[in-house]
């Protein structure tokens, strides 16, 4: 039986998040520059998006550039930004045709102006697409996100829009970039690294974690389906006993 047929369509995670890692190592293994790995990673982005759409995942969040990634060589940062613009340009029609809405999380104001314009463009043009929402995490860092949320909460409290007693975990979720997006049910990280790297620290509180040694440019639709099958074998207890479920 093919992998996709082993998936229980009634228990597909509504939101899957992916830390797309291993592009640099993939390129190095081939004696190439790191950017060669990033370019080949675009194919895996397309594969993951298609696979997610096929089984009915509603949100796919992709960690594409972290707040820490600015510390990489400028040539690599520039190449990544260029690749982002090129990919949006080449994929725009496919996004619209397949009903893929694009959103971002992270501080876009620090991205180069042409990247910001291109992102605004794709966000506006895909706004009414309903098959799947792809959330690109760009200049995203969980600690920055939480810090910004706390600042906004403090300002609203100062202005009397909110009182300290009213603040609940839901309030905090509502002030994050991910307001209105359900928490991920499944997180996938490729390349064998076993860490979160400042990704969705609040939102992943009860997420199932899946790690694979596959380097991101090698990640296929079947790799995505394998992660879903693994997820479906797990029992999500949320603190309860097995008998209570």
Binding site for Mg ion (CB under 5 A): 21
**Residue 195 interaction partner, one of Mg ion, ligand IPE, none, beta carbon < 5-8 Å per kind:** ligand IPE
Q: Which of 19, 185, 186, 227 touches ligand IPE (CB under 6 A)?
A: 19
25 vs 152 by CB, closer to ligand IPE: 25
Q: Which of 69, 98, 116, 232 touches ligand IPE (CB under 6 A)?
A: 69
From the list 62-70, 84-92, 122-130, 163-171, the region that binds ligand IPE by CB under 6 A is: 62-70
From the list 53-61, 66-74, 143-151, 153-161, the region that binds ligand IPE by CB under 6 A is: 66-74
SS3 of residue 226 by DSSP: helix
φ/ψ bin of 99: left (φ > 0), alpha (ψ from -120 to 50), beta (otherwise)? left
What minimum distance in Å lies between the beta carbon of 66 and ligand IPE?
A: 4
Query: How many Å apart are CA 55 and CA 48, to the nearest integer?
Result: 11
Q: Which residue is nearest to ligand IPE (CB)?
A: 24
21 vs 223 by CB, closer to Mg ion: 21
Judge whether 21 counts as a catalytic residue.
Answer: yes
Judge contact between 66 and 141, C-beta under 8 A: yes
Instruction: Taking the CA atoms of 178, 180, 186 and 188 in sequence, report the sign of the dihedral they define.
Output: negative
7 vs 115 by CB, closer to ligand IPE: 115
Q: Which of 7, 16, 17, 20 touches ligand IPE (CB under 6 A)?
A: 20
21 vs 208 by CB, closer to Mg ion: 21
Judge whether 10 counts as a catalytic residue.
Answer: no
Judge contact between 64 and 137, C-beta under 8 A: yes
Residue 148 has phi, psi (to 5 degrees) of -65, -40
Residue 33 has phi, psi (to 5 degrees) of -70, 155
Is residue 43 close enough to count as binding ligand IPE by CB under 6 A?
A: no
* Pairing between β-strand 186-189 and β-strand 132-140 as defined by DSSP bridges: unpaired
Q: What is the largest CA-CA distance in the chain?
A: 60
What lies within 8 Å, CB to CB, of 202 at 6+ separation is 142, 145, 146, 172, 173, 176
What minimum distance in Å lies between the beta carbon of 26 and ligand IPE?
A: 7
CA 162 to each of CA 62, 174, 177, 180, 237: distance values in angstroms, whole numbers, following the listed order: 32, 13, 19, 19, 33
Is residue 197 close enough to count as binding ligand IPE by CB under 6 A?
A: yes
32, 69, 98, 198: the catalytic one is 69
List the helix and strand counts (H, then E) for the chain.
7, 6
| Chain positions contacting ligand IPE, by CB under 6 A | 19-25, 34, 63-66, 68-69, 80, 191, 193, 195, 197, 216
């Amino acid at each position: 039986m093919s992998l996709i047929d082993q998936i229980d369509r009634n228990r597909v995670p509504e939101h899957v998040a992916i830390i797309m890692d291993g592009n640099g190592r993939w390129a190095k293994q081939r004696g190439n520059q790191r950017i060669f790995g990033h370019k080949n990673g675009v194919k895996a982005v397309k594969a993951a998006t298609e696979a997610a759409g096929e089984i009915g995942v509603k949100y796919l969040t992709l960690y594409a550039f972290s707040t820490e990634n600015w510390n990489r060589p400028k040539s690599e940062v520039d190449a990544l930004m260029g690749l982002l613009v090129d990919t949006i340009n080449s994929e725009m029609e496919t996004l619209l045709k397949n009903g893929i809405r694009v959103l971002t999380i992270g501080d876009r104001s620090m991205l180069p102006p042409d990247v910001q314009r291109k992102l605004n463009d794709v966000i506006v043009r895909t706004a009414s697409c309903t098959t799947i929402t792809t959330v690109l995490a760009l200049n995203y860092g969980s600690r920055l996100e939480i810090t910004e949320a706390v600042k906004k909460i403090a300002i609203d409290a100062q202005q009397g829009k909110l009182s300290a007693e009213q603040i609940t975990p839901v309030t905090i979720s509502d002030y994050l970039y991910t307001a209105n997006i359900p928490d991920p049910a499944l997180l996938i990280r490729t390349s064998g690294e076993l860490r979160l790297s400042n990704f969705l620290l609040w939102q992943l509180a009860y997420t199932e974690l899946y790690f694979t040694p596959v380097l991101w440019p090698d990640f296929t639709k079947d790799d995505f389906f394998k992660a879903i099958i693994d997820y479906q074998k797990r029992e999500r207890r949320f603190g309860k006993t097995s008998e209570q479920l």
